[in-house]
Chain A
């Protein structure tokens, strides 16, 4: 067994766990637990980038890994913990549009859909790792979008958005191994600012309304 097939197997394992954390972000009840799952997902993304960097000898992927670690596992969680009040993280029951078993089943359907969507695209990519990363990245994007749809709390919705971003990167590291560093840097600046803005907004909502169930904020009121 040569080293590239071991890297391939390890990348597959990382991808499976990555998908598992995406499902966890959809299904967990506690806000804090979904934040921790997001951190774990980012760590797995880093791991995949490092593995692909080794396999393809690409320095860009190590840059991606470094940027991911710095922003997604350290900076964003720190920002979210400090802008949003601690009370939000103590909430246990997240009000949801669908109950957990049915959202899990829909998540499973979405994963199958991601494979169906990714299948014609795979022919266009020559990198073997894309076989793992592209469908799983698309699946993570779907699951992130689904998280935004199915959840009503502000912080988990933001985490869904960030999971979409993680999914894009997970697919991206395999398709474009030499993505210009400038694009990564742009994302690295963009996403924490996004987290910061939404975090501040959530804090204001929480102060004004005493809740962060933004799903209930459906109509405008002039006062």
Chain B
């Protein structure tokens, strides 16, 4: 009982603590692949530390939403970390509170508040980025629903702990066509949802072309630090859902030992490193799509998930 609460808190600590590291590694790897040296992998920690010690300036024309949004955005991934299998294969103390759909809704709540906050300040770039984010969001939504429908249809459940076991028992399930197609579709959706390169450029500095990043332009000091941290954690949570639930539960702790749970941390981080390596290759080899081409990209993801459903239906 007590240990399951403790493990759950360890899980949250891992998400909060290692999310900036994953972001730093991603940036560094991308720079290395493009024959540059790049910043240190600990740069996001330094950025957050620096921003936390700066003064915060809030526009006097903004409402409470602007002030609350960073906290909501920060809390959403932390809350998700309680529900999903970050380190263990068995459900922990708070896992009963929500399934994968719950995780999706909670993450969407954070996104919703940052969108509102971007509109709140009447900075011209904020609402533009916000409306674009919503456009990508509502295009990605049907594809997400199809993916989750397929996952729950195949596994007979939306609870991540049941789903992840389904893919590897027996191991031949891993090579099921519906599984492989789901992986492809989900990967494309992660690229779209996190503003990665074929959809949005995460390192772009040009306000008119930004989709995701322009929403936080108006923030300074603590708000900016929290939002930066929150976006890193959101990416981390999406990666955990992708790697630990949709791909495989490999490397997660099976036993109840503290040592085993702690051993899962480097294994999960290694899995993420492998994924980030693939992500960086994708990002470096593709060009950013024009805004109205995004529909094609997400449409392809949708059709792939539809094929996944069809192949699953025809198997039985």
Asked if B75 lies at the interface with its beta carbon under 8 angstroms from chain A, I say no
Q: Would you list 5 pairs from A and B whose C-beta atoms are within 8 A, ordered by A residue?
A: A5-B172, A12-B176, A12-B315, A27-B300, A101-B299
Write the A92-118 contact mask toward B (1 if CB under 8 angstroms, else 0).
Answer: 000000011100110110011001000
Q: Does B197 contact A (CB under 8 A)?
A: no
Which of chain A's residues have a CB closer than 8 A to the CB of B78?
none
Query: Which of B24-32, B111-119, B208-216, B303-311 lies on the face that meets chain A?
Result: B303-311
Stretch at the interface among A15-23, A178-186, A204-212: A15-23
CB neighbours (8 Å) of B313 from chain A are 115
Q: Which residues of A contact B260 (CB under 8 A)?
A: none
Interface residues of A in 1-32 (CB under 8 A from B): 1, 5-6, 9-10, 12-13, 15-17, 19-20, 23, 27
B314 within 8 A of A: yes
Chain A residues whose C-beta falls within 8 Å of the C-beta of B299 in the assembled complex: 100-101, 104-105
Count residues of A near B (Cβ-Cβ below 8 Å).
27
Shortest CB distance A118–B (Å): 9
Does B180 interact with chain A (Cβ within 8 Å)?
A: yes
Task: Report the nearest A residue to B304, measured CB to CB.
Answer: A20
Contact A16:B177 (CB < 8 A) given known A101-B295, A131-B314? yes
Chain A residue nearest in CB terms to B308: A16
With A and B bound together, what is the CA distance between A59 and B303 in angstroms? Answer: 36
Complexed CA–CA distance, A180 and B313 (Å): 33
Tell whether, in the assembled complex, residue B307 and residue A9 are in contact, meaning their CB atoms are under 8 Å apart: no
Number of A-B pairs, beta carbon distance below 8 Å: 67
Asked if B170 is at the interface of the complex by the 8 Å CB criterion, the answer is: yes
Q: Restricting to B172-186, which residues have a CB under 8 Å from any CB of A?
A: 172, 175-178, 180-181, 184
Q: How far is the CA of A119 from the CA of B314 in the complex (A)?
A: 9
Contact A108 B306 (CB under 8 A): yes
Q: Does A199 touch B at the CB level, under 8 Å? A: no
CA distance A5 to B311 in the complex (A): 16
Measured between alpha carbons, how far is A101 from B299 in the docked complex, in Å?
A: 6
**Residue in chain B with minimal CB distance to A135:** B314
Near B by CB (< 8 A), chain A positions 139-182 give none
**CA of A132 to CA of B175, assembled, Å:** 15
- Identify the closest chain A residue to B299 (Cβ): A101
| A175 to B9 Cα, complex, angstroms | 57
C-alpha spacing A19/B311, complex, angstroms: 10
